[in-house]
Amino acid sequence: MIETARTRLRQWRESDRDAFAALNAHPEVMRDLGGPIGRRSSDEKFDRYAEAYETHGFTRWAIETFTGKFLGYAGIMPSRPGHPLGPHTEIGWRLRREAWGHGYATEAAAAALVDGFERCGLTKIFAYTAPDNVRSQAVMDRLGLVRSVSLDYEEPHNGGLWRGLVWVAEHRPSIDT
């Protein structure tokens, strides 16, 4: 578990499935990925996130307030097999629509980056989003990620092409002198 000033990032619980499915079914929340996904796809994604921690030691964490209100998720995951960028680790976030505009994505993603670099020993983490997802691009900028135009890519998605704009976070350990 990771605590930030206002949130708790934690492993997934079976009781999170309904809130996770509602998040994935919301048209505005899912607009940048081609629209809502159904319960079966949501459950498969949930299972991948829950399993990732057991397999890799990191995941997309469930985000909740200190009173237990589900806000969404943020965290790092290994790339899927066959990703156009090859094997890598990627950070991502998705929040309930009601949680937008309060700084939760930046706060939670910053904590997930620190965890990935410090506890997990990662040295490079990618982030990508669609060209029209200016909200996520703003989070990437606030996190200090560096835009890497040379890594932008396209891939088939929902009968069309999805274009991913890429940002990179690199861990540079401090040198004590």
Read off the pLDDT of residues 90-110 as tens digits, 9 standing for 90 and up: 999 999 999 999 999 999 999
Q: Tell me the β-bridge partners of 65.
A: 7
pLDDT value at residue 143: 95
* Tens-place pLDDT, residues 116-128: 999 999 999 999 9
* 150-174 pLDDT per residue, tens: 999 998 877 778 899 999 999 876 5
Expressed as residue numbers, the domain containing 91 is 2-170
Q: Are 164 and 152 in contact (CB under 8 A)?
A: yes
Tell me if 175 is assigned to some domain.
no
Residue 140 domain-assigned?
A: yes
- pLDDT higher than threshold 60 for residue 22: yes
For residue 71, give Cα distances in angstroms to 83, 130, 153.
28, 22, 30
Residues 32-74: tens digit of each pLDDT: 777 888 899 999 999 999 999 989 999 999 999 999 999 999 9
Query: Dihedral through CA 10, CA 136, CA 79, CA 31, nearest 10?
Result: 100
Residue 176 in any domain: the answer is no
As given in the structure block, the two tokens for residue 47 are: 């299972």
Give the global pTM.
Answer: 0.90
Number of domains in the chain: 1
User: Which positions ≥6 away from 33 have C-beta within 8 Å?
Assistant: 130, 157, 162
**Which has more confidence, 62 or 29?**
62
- Residue 58 falls within a domain, yes or no? yes
CATH of the domain at 118: 3.40.630.30
- pLDDT, residue 177, reads 43
Task: Give the pLDDT of residue 175.
Answer: 54
